[in-house]
Amino acid sequence: MSKSIAESVLFSPLRVGALSLPNRMVMAPMTRGRNAADGTPSELLIPYYSSRADAGLLITEATAISTTARGWLGAPGIHAPSHVEGWRRVTDSVHRAGGRIFCQLWHMGRVSHPDFLDGALPVAPSAIAAKGSSHTPKGKQDYVIPRALSVAEIGAIVGEYAQATKLAREAGFDGIELHGANGYLIDQFLRDGSNQRSDAYGGTPAKRARFLLEVVDAVSAAWEKERIGVRISPTGNYNDMRDSDPQATFTHVARELAPRGLAYLHVTEALPGSPMHVPLPPVTPAIRSAYPGTLIVNGGYDAKTAAAAIERKQAELVAFGVPFLANPDLVKRFQRGATLNAPDFATLYTPGAKGYTDYPTLG
């Protein structure tokens, strides 16, 4: 084992909000589609998450906050008693293995489909369809033009986030992460490519950030702020997203979140050379300047680049997606400089254990 790798800052402990983490490695949220049609977590999630419990922090796959928030085959929920019971088995197993786990709260907004919503239109800040398609219970379908939310409906959804937070606490999670990235509802409000409202929730960066901040304040009232995280993707174009000035938009978000005392801000912005890299000026450095709290970065890091980011004070934690997907013992592999398992992309969303809980560990 290389001494320099074993003693890397990546494996140093850190206090984050209400938790003490043994290392700086976070398992990023990854939708895998292994759950029941009603959103009840599958038993397969127990070995999947518990086998990765030596990560500093686990963040679950995106989890729907209500029946109208869903829109992905096999995705879990956190809005019914069976969801709480299913997730409790997962969190108990993670805690028995010595881990810590946050639930990522999700509303799909315009990139849901009527096939998931009993024929109703999906909702969004504005009636603007995303380009692309969805895999629904009835097959692959183009996205539809969503229905613009009324102010009263926005308030009701804020309440759904708060209720989902209470249920996550009941299910034994250590905290929650608000999914404000990747073109889902919160992100749809933040960016002007999808939000063209002319009321208090649209126009300037401050108005477009209002929905996110109302959700943050509501979930912080439902559970202490030190157990709340937020994820954003300033330059990501997934789900047909764009913004005319991402630096202005997301530095405003960072400045507004800074005094709220949250556990962390999680920024996903792919590094050059990563498959998800977008050829736009990076916004993460400006966010770092505006946000003095704990920052997680994500986007194609390996052990070396992650340690360098932490050493240079660009972030306190680094989240890894695909490496954790294929390597349940990623922490040990990084510590030992071991070869990583290659992911089987053909089984990312297929039912069953193959490509999910059958990746080999060292030895």
Question: Tell me, what CATH number does 25's domain have?
Answer: 3.20.20.70
Amino acid at 200: A
CA torsion sign for 256, 31, 9, 95 is positive
pTM (2 d.p.): 0.97
In a domain, 358, yes or no: no
Would the pLDDT of 3 be above 80? Answer: no
- What band does 277 get if pLDDT is binned at 50, 70 and 90? confident
Q: Is residue 19 part of a domain?
A: yes
Residue 357 lies in a domain: no
pLDDT surpasses 70 at 5: no
Report DSSP letters for 66-87, one per residue: SGGG--STT--BSSSHHHHHHH
**Which one of 49, 143, 161, 184 is the catalytic residue?**
184
The whole-number pLDDT of residue 2 equals 44
- Give the number of domains in the chain: 1
Per-residue model confidence (pLDDT) at position 321:
97
User: Is 352 among the domain residues?
Assistant: no
- Residue 243 within a domain: yes
Percent of the chain topping pLDDT 70: 98
Q: Is residue 353 part of a domain?
A: no
Q: Running DSSP on this structure, what letter comes out for residue 115? A: G
Q: What is the predicted pLDDT for the residue at 276?
A: 84
Calculate ∠ Cα 14-22-44, nearest 5°: 125
Report H helices in 34-110.
45-50, 81-96
The mean predicted confidence, pLDDT, of the chain is: 96
Mean local confidence (pLDDT), 79-105:
98
pLDDT of residue 1: 38
Domain residue limits at 290: 3-347
Whether 307 maps to a domain, the answer reads: yes
Looking at the domain assignment, is residue 356 inside a domain? no
Whether 184 sits among the annotated catalytic residues: the reply is yes
| pLDDT interval class at 240 (50, 70, 90) | very high
Residue 6's pLDDT is: 59
Would you say residue 306 has pLDDT above 60? yes
